[in-house]
Chain A
């Protein structure tokens, strides 16, 4: 028996032409169809091997998700293989997804036979040789490289390393509740059996055997699972609309068009644990009665697309997708559609148009896609994280899921922690966790001793949360009360060197570019808002009287304009487009006022508002700055102190860069 689905003995009657309904149980706890101790032992041994509880050769795991590769994991991997070859050591090298702690990548794990698996941080190609030498040859753990050792499962014979901290006690991991990310960075994503060995596909097997579609919808609704893509609609209730609409064909679409800049959990799940998504999709498709499903995924995620294709092919091979899944009469085909780069395609109707080969523009609702969607048929669109939550609920029940979370928001949420924070990465916490805990404990606070200013939640549709509201317990409702929203879960941390007006301008620029142009409030309104923000942050050197008048008119209208866009846009993109401005105006009005009245940027980001002057004491009159100044704003005779004409200065900062005597002062 080399593969899990091989026959254990002649009594076994699994056959791919006649699928066995007990296949999954049989593979993990079997055999079911006949009682034989040797067969059981054989199967248990195979599972233990796949879970790497028993290994004969050392195993080296390299985190090669997109983020790992960006940090240099590809070179680390190549050097590792070369090192093994040179030393003549036999070891298995496994490429895994991202465990979530992007800040210290490349991450490499080593598991020696009989010993617990240990994770090491910042293993670059230069240092990997020394690390392997020390661990594999000398059996010593270099303490500065150790991230932590993985706690062996109960009853496992793996012996822990002396003196090495546990990974689950690491401040980054300890407060987390990892359900969706449980396998990410742990298992080999290209190997379906590793997922099965860890309880994978047991949920779909149980569901199609023991529940009807309606019962499944009820169960999911009772669990309180809400859409993780942003809207937060109750998933089970949405399914029921599709289930109760009679049609000969229904569709399920997985929205993996993770367009929110600042969010990357969907990519990580697909790269690190693609079968969890497929299993979730199978459960959802069963729930609504769909036999065809699409994954709409961003073309910018080439690795995730590759993993997805591999996983679909394997699931077909094991009879877990395709025709007559586990002899239940349930069929499911999953197709991958690549997005073509349009943020608005995160909106359901726009996404449907895009799959149909049209411009990705939203259309008015109702009819809702659940009633009339793709090709006019009932269609349910769920986000990757929502679908990845389903196997857990289907297997352990609604109560298990709803035992975690707050009154209105159940379960966990994955957040992508990035920006000015020490430990960036993916964090999965229970709903109701305090923002402060995520930033200060898990994220390790702000680097370089700077001061926390705000955290941007939910991407371009969300808002900024200032210091005074950090103690808020995160759920869908609480974030709305302070003008932010859950969105897809991007958390971008900002310190005192981030200008909030600049951030608002950044988002308006983004939304304005991504507006599909169908409805006027969004198309024109966002552009006007951007222009107003640009006027606020522009230097006044060459401003005419009418420019100044426009600027002040703009400031007066900004809030009203924002409200009109919010109230009259067609789709969610437009309705939430003004949020970054409204929320920064609400919490950081003083910064706007400093830009408008005092013509200065407190954070020193808006270059055109900075003023430069030359300290006559320090200036030697070398004339370098005057020569380099692009606007000819610097005057002065050689060998005597120079002077910057404020009206001519465009604030580019070139003089500051070129001055060798630190005579230029930025204010």
Chain B
């Protein structure tokens, strides 16, 4: 690391005592790069065994990496915490301006400890931290408004990130998210509830500084190579044109789009909610994360009439992606696009993880259809697939929690099903709700084994789709090994905080070039060992907190509904999980080599 690179500076904030200080942690960043690697090390240091996820002992850790501010598409911030949703490892990534802002403020990581007695927000600038009163912002109806107020009140426009929670976070819904720059999210595993438990409404980070490079010529050459690949490759073009919503139609055509709580893998209304149709009828603007020329963020412009006031309209701008479309569209049987978009918008207003919210609503609908829950539990609300308005009301109730049922649903589908029944169709994996792919056994093995129980950890859907294309049979051992190899490499990418959409741009060779031109000396072998080491650490943390692969619940519904790379049975899944577990632990490659 170059002498004047501020990456090694870790900002510590104590919310209880309203103090902050900086520690230089050069070794930490030299050994583990940044992002996920530094994050899990800091979590090991900060989070005591058995910590209450909503207690002051649970830290908030935000980390960025060495390439941020230097190269395109190194644009993510990694959040580490103990998840109030699963009671285990919490890790969530967001883009927006968060990573560039934190790096430009002169920090590689922030560790936020303790809890404030009263609502506050933090302003993090180069060289100082302000603790500001947020009593007036607490309880505000809309997460959008909280963002607008801070945008006016604080300085640094164009150089800052405004991260905030909605009412869902304040009211400790276990899958509340943290919103950054309105349209990006630390979506999963309840990071927003951790903020709520600390009475931390928002963090505004800003800065504008220079970063040293080791070799100007090599730096510019590497930059241009990455920039060209990011703007001109076919893969990046598809993210640019239709965004992730491009997946909806192809996934549906092979029968892998979870529909009506995964009673089917095909949705007859898929054409209506496809990326193509949304772009043609609703796309209002495309925007980018800071330092990403790809601009995959797609905003729908939804014009809504006021029903009792003729010629009175409002236009809502809201972000859509494959996962929100799956969670509020096909999974709820909704092909009424304005209704689906309004539901997405309400979830955003409240500050919930859209995927978990959609899965919770889908389970509740099926449970009500089967008579497991009655209108008495739902306080008179009748949920039914394809009907948007009751879902919008249900989202509000998940946050306001008027009855025991909504209080249960606010803790996720695993928890609600454990109280009310219907566990066989509760779509949760390791306690986390299902992503939008039902492609075959590999995606489900991935959800179960992956450190975050996310489709982005090891991309099992991709293995399934390859098998469909080639007609090859999937074998549990091979699936486990391929998932593990992918998840290990992704530890490296997420330690560099490279957006995973650019994974093909950042080959190991390009990563090494980018690192060496900016003063970080690594070898491919060193990166490989680091990836294995980070994943091993994550598993160690998970096991310390009670995770057991053998005790993972396999939702029966995934075995019943045909999948493109199917059929498969529970024995397949169990065998793959067991293989994965022995392999992830057996590679005790230990210290990373540099």
Q: Are A and B physically bound partners? A: no
